[in-house]
C-alpha cells in the first residue's frame, strides 16, 4: 500500500491559514475546570469575527457570564438536501505549564508541529471549519448541503453551558439538520507497516458519572469502630475497581473488529472475526489484531473507574460519611445491566446515584454520509482502510442526538508513523503536525462540496 499521493490532492486551499487560526485559538485560555468554572468568551468572539469576515451572520449566545457559544448557517447549493451540523467545542481541559516542553497556551509552531492545549482536542477542528468558511466566501463556492456550524462551551464538563443549553433553549438554530459531524474519528492509525486505518465513529458509550456515599458513626480516631464510613466506602470502591465487566459487542464494535481483522489479514496477518453473540474468546481475537486492537479494546464492555475520594477533616476524627466518585461509561443497550451491577458492587451499606448521566449514541453504519466520509479520506490517502469505530468517551453528539440527528465522529487528520494520537487527548505536550491540519482541510472540503447524495434520503423521509 502506498503513502498518500500529493499529485491527487486539490491545490489552492489556504493551508497556512488553518495553522494560524488554530494557533490563535490555542492562545485563548479556555480552561474548563468543571462546576461552572470556565470562560470561552474571548475565543467565541474571535470565532464570530472570522465568520463575520466570511460574510456570515454568526449568533453569539452566552447562558452565563463568559460561557459563550457561536452558531452560524451557510446556505447549500442543493435545496433538496437536508442540512448538516458541524460542531466543535472551544473549551479545553486544564494544563499545568510545569510539565510541558512549551507553554500550553503558546500556540507555538516548532519544526512543522503546532503545540498547545487544544491542538487535537479540538481547536484544530474549529480552525478547519473557520478556514473553510473563509475560503468558500472568497472563492464563491458553497457546500452541497446547508451547513450549520456550532462552536460550543462546556463540552469538557456537562455541556450545561454549551450544547445541552443550545439544544434545550435554541433548537431552531438547527432546523433541518438530520446529521451531525463532531469529534474525533478520521485520524490515521498506523496498525502495521503499510496498514493505515482511519476509524469513523458511528457510536459512543454513554456517560455515567457516579457519586457513592457511605454513612457511619462519627467518633474519636483512637477508639475502635465497627461502623466506619471510610472502610465501607473503600471496600465498595475496591469491588468496583476490580470488577471485570462482561463483553457486550454492539454492532459498531462488531463491525470494527471484523473490518480491522480483514485489513490485518490482507497484509498477511491473522484475521479476527467477532464470533459469538457476546464476543466469547474475544481476548484471543483482539490479540491477533496487534496494535489495532486499541481501536476497539475500550468499547467491548462497560467500564467504571473510581476517580475521587472525599472523607474526613481531621486525622483523629472518624467521619460520619465518606464520598467517592466513579467515571462510568455504558454501551448502548446496557444501561439496565450497568445499574444492576452497581447495586451489587456497592452493597446495602453504600448508596450510589448519578452525578451526571448522558445516554449512549448510535448512528447507521451504512448511511450515505459514512460513504462520503470514506471517499473523502481515500481521496487523500488512497492506500488506506476506513473502518467503523465506537468512541469510548463522550462528546457533544449526546446533546445533538436529542434533536433526532444521526451523529458521527469525524475530525480527520493524516498523521505520520509514531504519532500517538490517543496520548494527545488531555495529555502533556499536546501537539499536531501542521501538515495534518492541512490534510484535514482538504478532506473536509471534499466531503462538504463534492458529495451531492448525503442527506437527500433523510430530507425525503422526514418531509
Strand order across the beta sheet in which 206-215 lies:
303-311, 321-330, 206-215, 350-358
| Pair (13, 146) in one structural domain | yes
The span from the CA of 311 to the CA of 390, in Å, is: 36
CB of 357 closer than 8 Å to CB of 209: yes
Is 182 within a domain? yes
The count of structural domains within the chain is: 2
| Pair (292, 313) in one structural domain | yes
- On the question of pLDDT at 317 being above 70, the answer is yes
* Geometric angle at alpha carbon 331, from 330 and 334, rounded to 5°: 85
Set 17, 40, 91, 381: catalytic member: 91
The span from the CA of 394 to the CA of 404, in Å, is: 17
Q: How confident is the model at residue 463 (pLDDT cuts 50, 70, 90)?
A: very low
| Pair (78, 170) in one structural domain | yes
**Mean pLDDT of all residues in 87-113:** 97
Q: What is the CATH number of the domain that holds 116?
A: 3.40.630.10
- On the question of pLDDT at 279 being above 90, the answer is no
- Quote the distance between the C-alpha of residue 156 and its chain's center: 10
* 155 part of the active site: yes
- On the question of pLDDT at 455 being above 50, the answer is no
Set 17, 154, 155, 358: catalytic member: 155
Q: Final residue of a domain: which of 336, 358, 380?
A: 358
Its domain, for residue 332, covers 217-358
Q: Which residues pair with 232 in a beta bridge?
A: none
C-alpha cell at 189: 492509525
| Pair (354, 375) in one structural domain | no
Is 210 within a domain? no
Is 153 within a domain? yes
Is 33 within a domain? yes
The overall pTM is greater than 0.85 = yes
Q: What is the CATH number of the domain that holds 281?
A: 3.30.70
Low-confidence winner among 11-15, 110-114, 144-148, 412-416 (lowest mean pLDDT): 11-15
C-alpha cell at 187: 485520524
C-alpha cell at 220: 474519636
Q: How confident is the model at residue 269 (pLDDT cuts 50, 70, 90)?
A: low
CB of 248 closer than 8 Å to CB of 300: yes
Neighbours of 72 (CB within 10 A): 23
Measured distance between the N- and C-terminal CA atoms of the chain, rounded to whole angstroms: 44
Q: Final residue of a domain: which of 313, 337, 358?
A: 358
Q: How many alpha carbons lie under 13 Å from residue 47 in its C-beta half-sphere?
A: 36
Q: Find cell 425525503 and name the residue.
A: 460
Helix (H) or strand (E) holding 446: helix 434-450
- Quote the distance between the C-alpha of residue 74 and its chain's center: 24
Amino acid at each position: 500500500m502506498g503513502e498518500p499521493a500529493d499529485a491527487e490532492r486539490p491545490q489552492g486551499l489556504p493551508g497556512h491559514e488553518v495553522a494560524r487560526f488554530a494557533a490563535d485559538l490555542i492562545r485563548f485560555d479556555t480552561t474548563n475546570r468543571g462546576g461552572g468554572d470556565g470562560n470561552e468568551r474571548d475565543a467565541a468572539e474571535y470565532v464570530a469575527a472570522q465568520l463575520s469576515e466570511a460574510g456570515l451572520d454568526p449568533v453569539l449566545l452566552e447562558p452565563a457570564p463568559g460561557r459563550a457559544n457561536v452558531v452560524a448557517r451557510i446556505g447549500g447549493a442543493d435545496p433538496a438536501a437536508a442540512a448538516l451540523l458541524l460542531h466543535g467545542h472551544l473549551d479545553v481541559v486544564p494544563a499545568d505549564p510545569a510539565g510541558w516542553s512549551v507553554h500550553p497556551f503558546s500556540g507555538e509552531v516548532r519544526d512543522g508541529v503546532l503545540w498547545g492545549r487544544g491542538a487535537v482536542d479540538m481547536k484544530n477542528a474549529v480552525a478547519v471549519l473557520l478556514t473553510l468558511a473563509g475560503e468558500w466566501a472568497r472563492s464563491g463556492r458553497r457546500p452541497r448541503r446547508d451547513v450549520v456550524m456550532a462552536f460550543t462551551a462546556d463540552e469538557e464538563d456537562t455541556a450545561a453551558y454549551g450544547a445541552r443549553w443550545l439544544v434545550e433553549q435554541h433548537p431552531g438554530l438547527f432546523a433541518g439538520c438530520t446529521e451531525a459531524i463532531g469529534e474525533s474519528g478520521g485520524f490515521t492509525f498506523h496498525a502495521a507497516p503499510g496498514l493505515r486505518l482511519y476509524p469513523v465513529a458511528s457510536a459512543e458509550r454513554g456517560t455515567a458519572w457516579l457519586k457513592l456515599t457511605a454513612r457511619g458513626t462519627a467518633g474519636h480516631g483512637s477508639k475502635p469502630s465497627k461502623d466506619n464510613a471510610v472502610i465501607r466506602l473503600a471496600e465498595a470502591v475496591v469491588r468496583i475497581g476490580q470488577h471485570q465487566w462482561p463483553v457486550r459487542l454492539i454492532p459498531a464494535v462488531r463491525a470494527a473488529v471484523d473490518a480491522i481483522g480483514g485489513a490485518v489479514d490482507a497484509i498477511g496477518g491473522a484475521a479476527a472475526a467477532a464470533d459469538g453473540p457476546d464476543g466469547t474468546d474475544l481476548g484471543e481475537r483482539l490479540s491477533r489484531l496487534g496494535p489495532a486492537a486499541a481501536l476497539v479494546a475500550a468499547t467491548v464492555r462497560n467500564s467504571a473507574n473510581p476517580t475521587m475520594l472525599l472523607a474526613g477533616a481531621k486525622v483523629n476524627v472518624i467521619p460520619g460519611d465518606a464520598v467517592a466518585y466513579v467515571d462510568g461509561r455504558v454501551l448502548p443497550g446496557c444501561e439496565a445491566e450497568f445499574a444492576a451491577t452497581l447495586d451489587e458492587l456497592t452493597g446495602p451499606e453504600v448508596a450510589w446515584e448519578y452525578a451526571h448521566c448522558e445516554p449512549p449514541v448510535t448512528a447507521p453504519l451504512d448511511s450515505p454520509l459514512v460513504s462520503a466520509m470514506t471517499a473523502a479520506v481515500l481521496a487523500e490517502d488512497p492506500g488506506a482502510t476506513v473502518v467503523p469505530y465506537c468512541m469510548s468517551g463522550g462528546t457533544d453528539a449526546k446533546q445533538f442526538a436529542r434533536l433526532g440527528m444521526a451523529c458521527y465522529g469525524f475530525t480527520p487528520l493524516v498523521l505520520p508513523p509514531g504519532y500517538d494520537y490517543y496520548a494527545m487527548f488531555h495529555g502533556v505536550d499536546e501537539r499536531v503536525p501542521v501538515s495534518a491540519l492541512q490534510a484535514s482541510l482538504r478532506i473536509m472540503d471534499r466531503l462538504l462540496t463534492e458529495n451531492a447524495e448525503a442527506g437527500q434520503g433523510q430530507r425525503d423521509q422526514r418531509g
